[in-house]
Amino acid sequence: MNDERTAGRSGVPLWTILLVAVAALVLATAALTAVVLGTGYGSGGMMGGGITGGMMGRGMMGGGYANGSGPAGIGNVPQPGESGFVAGTLASPRVVQVVAGPGYTFSPSSITVARGETVTFLVTSMGPLVHEFMVGPADAVAADAPGTPEVADIAMMTSKSLTFTFDGAGPYAFACHVDGHYEAGMHGSIVLVG
Ligand SMILES: [Cu+2]
């Protein structure tokens, strides 16, 4: 009687327990995968904040400064004059993206920089026109003066960068001096703060 009961008990329950154990393992693995792929990768990819999001934002901006916590998308980085702003330095310039075109336009057409900071302008040409980007003292930029910092031949959908330190009194400006472009309005202003 004893043997029969034992056999009966360990017969059916044993593989039931095994089945439950395997099912639990599968569920646990799935849950872990969801955590690793879903939450971890997802928040980084979507720029949802946290460390991964912050690194992502920094990488896209290319600035090399700390964004702090929270959503770290473009536009959430403190700008000059705002609290938490980190000025660019020679060792770690602040990257400002500028779109040249379509047409004879720069976007943005007004760029705010902190007095003394070093900025790397990453200029991307949109549309079929080839553009230039010059930055420096406003009078030199307006006159297309030789020696004024400039990158030329920025072809459609390509980018070139130019690093400049705003350590003078100003005023500063930027422009495109491909024939006819400046006259058509392709220039912008630098607003110095601090
Ligand atoms: Cu141009």
Q: Encode 16-77 in three state secondary structure.
A: HHHHHHHHHHHHHHHHHHHHHHHHHHHHHHCCCCHHHHHHHHHHHHCCCCCCCCCCCCCCCC
Query: Do residues 43 and 122 both lie within one domain?
Result: no
Boundary of a domain, candidates 59, 77, 95:
77
Query: Do residues 9 and 52 both lie within one domain?
Result: yes
Model-level pTM? 0.63
Using a CB cutoff of 5 Å, list residues around ligand 1, an ion.
Answer: 131, 176, 178, 181, 186
Distance 126 CA to ligand 1 centre (A): 10
Query: Do residues 88 and 173 both lie within one domain?
Result: yes
* Sequence-distant (≥ 6) Cβ neighbours of residue 160 within 8 angstroms: 122, 123, 133, 151, 153, 154
Question: How far, CA to CA in Å, does 128 sit from each of 25, 97, 149, 160?
Answer: 58, 19, 24, 16
Distance 90 CA to ligand 1 centre (A): 27
Boundary of a domain, candidates 53, 77, 101:
77
pLDDT > 60? residue 158: yes
Query: Do residues 116 and 73 both lie within one domain?
Result: no
Instruction: Report residue 77's pLDDT band, with 50, 70 and 90 as the boundaries.
Output: confident
* Sequence-distant (≥ 6) Cβ neighbours of residue 68 within 8 angstroms: 54, 84
Distance 154 CA to ligand 1 centre (A): 9
Instruction: Report residue 74's pLDDT band, with 50, 70 and 90 as the boundaries.
Output: low
Contact 54, 71 (CB under 8 A): no
Query: Do residues 185 and 152 both lie within one domain?
Result: yes
The range of the structural domain enclosing residue 51 comes to 1-77
Contact 135, 142 (CB under 8 A): no
The domain total for the chain is 2
Query: Do residues 90 and 72 both lie within one domain?
Result: no
The CB density around residue 32, as the number of other CB atoms within 10 Å, is 10
Boundary of a domain, candidates 27, 60, 77:
77
Task: Give the CATH number of the domain where residue 98 resides.
Answer: 2.60.40.420
Question: How far, CA to CA in Å, does 95 sit from each of 60, 61, 80, 98, 150?
Answer: 10, 6, 13, 10, 16
pLDDT > 70? residue 135: yes
Distance 102 CA to ligand 1 centre (A): 9
Query: Do residues 176 and 102 both lie within one domain?
Result: yes
Instruction: Return d(Cα 32, Cα 133) in angstroms, integer.
Output: 50
111-121 residue pLDDT tens: 999 999 999 99
Distance 98 CA to ligand 1 centre (A): 12
Distance 185 CA to ligand 1 centre (A): 9
Distance 127 CA to ligand 1 centre (A): 11
Query: Do residues 21 and 100 both lie within one domain?
Result: no
Locus of tokens 């079929």: 128
* Sequence-distant (≥ 6) Cβ neighbours of residue 61 within 8 angstroms: 74, 77, 95, 97
Distance 171 CA to ligand 1 centre (A): 22
pLDDT > 50? residue 80: yes
